[in-house]
Structure 1
Amino acid sequence: MSLHRRLVSQSTIIFGGRLFGAGIVFLVQALIARFWGAGHLGDFLIITATCNLIAVAMPLGFHTIGAYFAAEYRARSERKQLGVFMLHAYGHILIALALLLVAGPFIVGLLGQGGSVVSQHYVPVILLAFSGATVMLSGSLLIGLKRPFSGFFADGIFRPIILVAALLGAVGIVNQDDAFAYMVWGAAIGYVVIALVQFGFTVIAWSAVPGADAEVRPREGRRWWRFALPWMLIALATDFFFDINLLLLSQILNREELAIFGVCTRIFALVSFGVSAVYAVSMPDMFESEANADRSAFHRKVGDANMVATALSVVLFCITALGAPIALQFFGPGFTAGAAPLAVLCLALVVRSALGPASLVLSIHDRPYASLPAVALGIGMMVAGNWLLAPSFGLMGAAISALVAITVWSVALWAIALRTAKMDVSILQWFRTRRQAAVPAA
């Protein structure tokens, strides 16, 4: 099967799995509100947000670079080197788990949160965070080891199923507070099991990497940290771009507009996952070509990934533009005002896909810090755009501001990659490689 056909098939399956899991989580939230009231739904959302933030911090950024180094060491047949990386990465999570279990309750008390919902369910919250961190790290490693389904499905499909099972298991309990506590504990225990099973798959995938006798380079740790820090910042700016944006817009938009824009950004994040899945599937092949110094194959694979990602983003833009008015009605009649702004946000996804994975290419060329000026420029454009457009044009102004910021960010990254890595990472690369392949050899 050709690369671009494999990208389409695998990324479609991964995206479909994420849609399935997102639908289950949405159903769970609705059932919590129906069974136990809005107060417990708020508690659930607070616990989820807290677990996510703690989970992101526990690996100390190694989850953001796991796919990169796993793919590199697999391509170079360096199993021992990958094993040392994994030992460090999982060690960070275990040390953080021990510190949180021992000193966490004392710190929570010092912060005056002794009566908070997180404090009331502290141990299962920490277990959920530990599982989330482990799944993120294992998923990243499995993607680099060409196991994308094992990498994505633990969090995208099995975690929501465990959540439903925990909810249904607690429904029969008469006391609402006890039922909610049982649900949290059930979700925590189930997620720990999922994380450990996925860790087992990761170890099996690692054992299949050749090169058991290859020597370990003692100074490689410095390189890991050099990549982890900038990628932490890149991931923060990209994955939490709209969370930062919502905080800024909270000083400009009214509460109703802010709620509508928040729903739009969540739908956008789900749509953009489909494009991210394309690069997750293609990334190991890119690393392998680069490690083998096969520049023509590397260019071709980047071009194929860009073509599939751009085509998919155009399809998703059309689907969202047509279906947004219907989908947003489920949140209430007033939310249909977000249909046009949501279409604008999805147009930004098309732009970002067409300009290619510049940050990824810069990291492959050992220039991870080169992405940071473009990231800072994009955030600055978002702040300026919100200040200029949102007060006068409301939701559409906020959407246009985000479109401009993402466009400027993507163009800057493309230019930096062209200058630093001497490579055009845009979709034009696909047309260029196809034209060269069509020219008969002399």
Structure 2
Amino acid sequence: MSFVGRLASQSSIIFASRLAGAGLTFIVQALIARAWGAAILADYMLAIAAVNLIACFMPLGFQTIGTYFVAEYAAKRETGKLVAFIKRAYAHVAICFGVVLVLALLGQGALHLPIVILACATAVNYISGAVLVGLKRPYAGYFADSLFRPMMVVATFLVCLTFIEQPTEGFTTLLWAIAFGFLAIAALQFAYVLAILRKLPIALEPSQPETRRWWRFALPWVIIGLATDFFFDIDLLLLSTQLSKEDLAIFGVVSRIFVLVSFGVAAVYAVILPEIFEREANADRAGFLRKVGEANLAASLAALVMLVGVIIFGPLALSIFGEGFGAGLWPLVLLSLALLVRSLLGPAAMVLSIYDHPWASIPAVIIGLSALVLGNLALVPAYGLVGAAVSACLAISLWSLVLWLIAWRVAKVDVSIRQYFAR
């Protein structure tokens, strides 16, 4: 099978698992609302939001750079540095877990404990997933979070619904049950990481940890990750004072569908990352550029397929949430166009990190978020929901364009799809 064909195959499987997991998550949320009421659903969503925020903090940014350094050290056979990095990443989670646990015990007590346990398990999954992707095990890296955890939540909810009558008691039991369920999944994934590491060649001499280099990469990626992973959370907060609750709900659903669709493109890069890192680590410039071009082609084709899929199946997907949500079709199409633009311009932030310029991405982040704020102020009052989508589309496109220009000027690399046709 050709490299592009393998990319398409592996990324399709990863995306399918993500799609299935997202579907299960939506089902659980709908069932909670129907069985226990909207108030309990709100509490559940707030708890999960708190878990996600705490979990993103616990690794101190090392989850965002894990794939890069693991792939680099594995390619260079620097087992000592590889093990040192992994130990440091998990140590961050352990230390932060202790701090957050003490704060929870000093707070209101029992209700906070399952949230802390959930956050710890999620943070461990983040680290383990990044390590496994870097070691060329993308399925093991993604399936725990995208598929196994949603399946466990569904099963746990059904058990609680069957045996517990009181909604409040059922909700509390559900939190504790999924906390220990997530912890079990995290432990199994961690055990798999250890099994893979035991198969690596043993370093003959201890390697000096590159602590300063790790932090130089991790700190900017904390900012980049916050702005990218939580882009629509930021946007929803900005729009909360401009859109009606109905339009805000529609935009929230549209943004969640967009994030799911964009994962199909992210899966392509997840498969190719170790290959790109390996070429650069071995000073294979031609091979590096070739892999970047092939990844961009596969990502752009995936984004085009997603755009067509949104146009065809978007109305059906939105109708599941109610009749009024059909107004979100064109905003969803606009956001999908932004995804295509981003794919065509390539993984500039990743390439800047490879060339040891992680901080160079920050100006693009600032410009993109500034464009989002200004776009909302200019377009939303006049055009409402569509204006919000246009603003987000322009911000994402401008952000991607500026990143491409920075990579071209700073790293002297054209990371766009033109790289594929320039071979």
Note if 1:195 corresponds to 2:178.
no
Q: Distance in 1 between matches of 2:264 and 2:234?
A: 22
Q: Which moved more, 1:259-268 or 1:204-213?
A: 204-213
| One-letter identity of the residue aligned with 1:178 | E
Note if 1:373 corresponds to 2:369.
no
Deviation at 1:105, TM superposition (A): 3.2
Gaps of 5+ in 1: 109-113, 434-442
| One-letter identity of the residue aligned with 2:116 | I
Structure 2 SS opposite 1:253: coil
Match of 2:91 in 1: 91
Q: Which runs of 4+ in 1 moved over 6 A?
A: none
Note if 1:159 corresponds to 2:159.
no
Residues 77-123 of structure 1, C-alpha deviations (whole Å, 9 max, x = no match): 011111111111101111111122223232x4xxxxx4xxxx55211
| One-letter identity of the residue aligned with 2:38 | A
Note if 1:404 corresponds to 2:394.
yes
Residues 375-413 of structure 1, C-alpha deviations (whole Å, 9 max, x = no match): 111111111111111111111111111111111111111
Deviation at 1:211, TM superposition (A): 4.9
| One-letter identity of the residue aligned with 2:3 | L
Contact 1:79/1:214 (<8 A) preserved:
no
Contact 1:145/1:206 (<8 A) preserved:
no
Residues 251-287 of structure 1, C-alpha deviations (whole Å, 9 max, x = no match): 2112111111111101000000110010010000000
Match of 2:241 in 1: 251
Match of 1:438 in 2: none
Match of 2:312 in 1: 322
Match of 1:295 in 2: 285
Q: Distance in 1 between matches of 2:201 and 2:289?
A: 26
Structure 2 SS opposite 1:101: helix
Contact 2:105/2:113 (<8 A) preserved:
no
Match of 2:62 in 1: 62
Contact 2:128/2:193 (<8 A) preserved:
yes
Contact 2:104/2:113 (<8 A) preserved:
no
| One-letter identity of the residue aligned with 2:404 | W
Gaps of 5+ in 2: none
Q: Which moved more, 1:387-396 or 1:278-287?
A: 387-396
Note if 1:128 corresponds to 2:111.
no
Match of 2:45 in 1: 45
Match of 1:137 in 2: 127
Structure 2 SS opposite 1:213: coil
Structure 1 SS opposite 2:270: helix
Q: Distance in 1 between matches of 2:35 and 2:372?
A: 40
Contact 1:77/1:211 (<8 A) preserved:
no
Q: Distance in 2 between matches of 1:181 and 1:249?
A: 32
RMSD: 1.2
Note if 1:231 corresponds to 2:221.
yes
Mark the CA change 1:23 to 1:135 in structure 2 (over 3 Å): closer, same or farther: same
Contact 1:52/1:129 (<8 A) preserved:
yes
Match of 1:76 in 2: 76
Contact 1:67/1:141 (<8 A) preserved:
yes
Deviation at 1:176, TM superposition (A): 2.5
| One-letter identity of the residue aligned with 1:104 | A
Deviation at 1:29, TM superposition (A): 1.2
Contact 2:104/2:116 (<8 A) preserved:
no
Structure 2 SS opposite 1:331: coil
TM-score norm. by structure 2 comes to 0.98
| One-letter identity of the residue aligned with 2:249 | A
Match of 1:15 in 2: 15
Deviation at 1:9, TM superposition (A): 0.4
Deviation at 1:177, TM superposition (A): 2.2
Q: Distance in 2 between matches of 1:260 and 1:176?
A: 27
Mark the CA change 1:123 to 1:212 in structure 2 (over 3 Å): closer, same or farther: same
Q: Distance in 1 between matches of 2:299 and 2:9?
A: 12
Q: Which moved more, 1:62-71 or 1:164-173?
A: 164-173
Contact 2:80/2:207 (<8 A) preserved:
yes
| One-letter identity of the residue aligned with 2:96 | A
Note if 1:170 corresponds to 2:170.
no
Deviation at 1:173, TM superposition (A): 1.7
Match of 1:266 in 2: 256
| One-letter identity of the residue aligned with 1:207 | R
Deviation at 1:27, TM superposition (A): 1.1
Match of 2:34 in 1: 34
Residues 184-232 of structure 1, C-alpha deviations (whole Å, 9 max, x = no match): 11111111000000001111222333352254124x1000000001011
TM-score norm. by structure 1 comes to 0.93
Mark the CA change 1:214 to 1:278 in structure 2 (over 3 Å): closer, same or farther: farther
Note if 1:206 corresponds to 2:222.
no
Aligned length: 422
| One-letter identity of the residue aligned with 1:426 | S
Note if 1:353 corresponds to 2:343.
yes
Match of 2:273 in 1: 283
| One-letter identity of the residue aligned with 1:103 | L
Q: Which moved more, 1:266-275 or 1:25-34?
A: 25-34
Note if 1:308 corresponds to 2:294.
no
Q: Distance in 2 between matches of 1:431 and 1:35?
A: 55
Contact 1:28/1:167 (<8 A) preserved:
yes
